[in-house]
Structure 1
Amino acid sequence: MVYNKASEEKKWKKWKQKEEQILKENGMTDDKILELRRYDWRDFNAERRFKKWQLTNYNFINQVPFTELKLPIRDMSDVIDQIEDENLYQVMIKAHIQDLVILYLKMYGYKNKEIASIMNISESIVRKRLSNIRKKLK
């Protein structure tokens, strides 16, 4: 399942308009309503960022048998925990799970096209993620 920001934002705006109408009817000042809107918008964006990364196909490892991928790990945290170089560890601990999975599959010899197919993303995204990882490591 992929997170649809536009759809969720539309729902949020509709909900917010109804809420603001009720607040106005009950005598809340415009300043307080604006303050509440800003707070709710920050909250919406924080939740959006969380859901964007959580509601994706990145947990494909649980869907594809390990024998097919030949991955001798339970999850990506096992890979990160084995890194001994402190600088590399600091980069990888902050990396997105998709970056880690792409990098891991690349290290196992998968080609960009194969990685894209496994992860259900485009090959250009795979290339871009690998490029970003290289930049961070320099």
Structure 2
Amino acid sequence: MMAYNHRKAEIEWLNWKEKEEKQLRGMEVDEDTIQRLHTYDWQQFKAERNFYEWQSDMSDTLEWAPQPDTYELRNAEDLLNSIENEEMLAILEKVDKFTLEILVLRIRGHSSKEIAHLTGIPELAVNNRIARLRKKLKKIF
């Protein structure tokens, strides 16, 4: 995974937003509505940017390779059984099972939004749990 380029993403967003606002003005949308949309979209962009920056950071910190021969990670127990690094295992054994289940879903490729839907907790809570876990794991890596 390549590192997330903060400035490039911001420039792309600004160019996209400028084109969108030009179209909205062409459709005679009032400036107040355009400004509210701009503010909302900027907040969404920042949240997404934080996730991609975090994900980029995580690619160096937490790598998990499945066992050979079509091993499928199904749950927290499978995750713990697949960890060979003793320090990592010690940390993960202290983490609550729900957070481990979220980690399993992340490893299986689900987005935070998908995990939030599957678990019934807010997307922000999913991201916070993963961020706290990442901090714990960074201590050993």
Aligned to 1:30: 31
Maintained 8 Å contact 1:58/1:97: no
Aligned to 1:41: 42
Deviations 1:31-65 (A, max 9, x none): 111111011111111111222212332453315x9
- Largest Rg, 1 or 2: 1
> So what's the TM-score if we normalise by structure 1?
0.53
Amino acid at match of 1:102: K
Amino acid at match of 1:3: Y
Maintained 8 Å contact 2:91/2:137: yes
SS of residue paired to 2:64: helix
Uncovered stretches (5+) of structure 1, i.e. residues with no partner: 83-92, 106-114, 116-138
Whether 1:11 aligns to 2:12 is: yes
Uncovered stretches (5+) of structure 2, i.e. residues with no partner: 68-82, 98-128
Aligned to 1:81: 96
Aligned to 1:96: 132
State the identity as a percent: 28
Paired with 2:44 and 2:86, the residues of 1 have a C-alpha distance of: 40
Paired with 1:70 and 1:77, the residues of 2 have a C-alpha distance of: 10
Q: 1:8 to 1:97 in 2, by over 3 A?
A: farther
Q: What does 1:52-63 align with in structure 2 at a 5 Å threshold?
A: 52-56=53-57, 57-58=59-60, 60-63=62-65
SS of residue paired to 1:62: coil
Q: Which runs of 4+ in 1 moved over 2 A?
A: 58-61, 69-73, 75-79, 93-98
Q: 1:16 to 1:77 in 2, by over 3 A?
A: farther
Maintained 8 Å contact 2:61/2:138: no
Maintained 8 Å contact 1:76/1:101: yes
Maintained 8 Å contact 2:61/2:137: no
SS of residue paired to 2:95: helix
> So what's the TM-score if we normalise by structure 2?
0.52
Deviations 1:89-131 (A, max 9, x none): xxxx68533321122x2xxxxxxxxx3xxxxxxxxxxxxxxxx
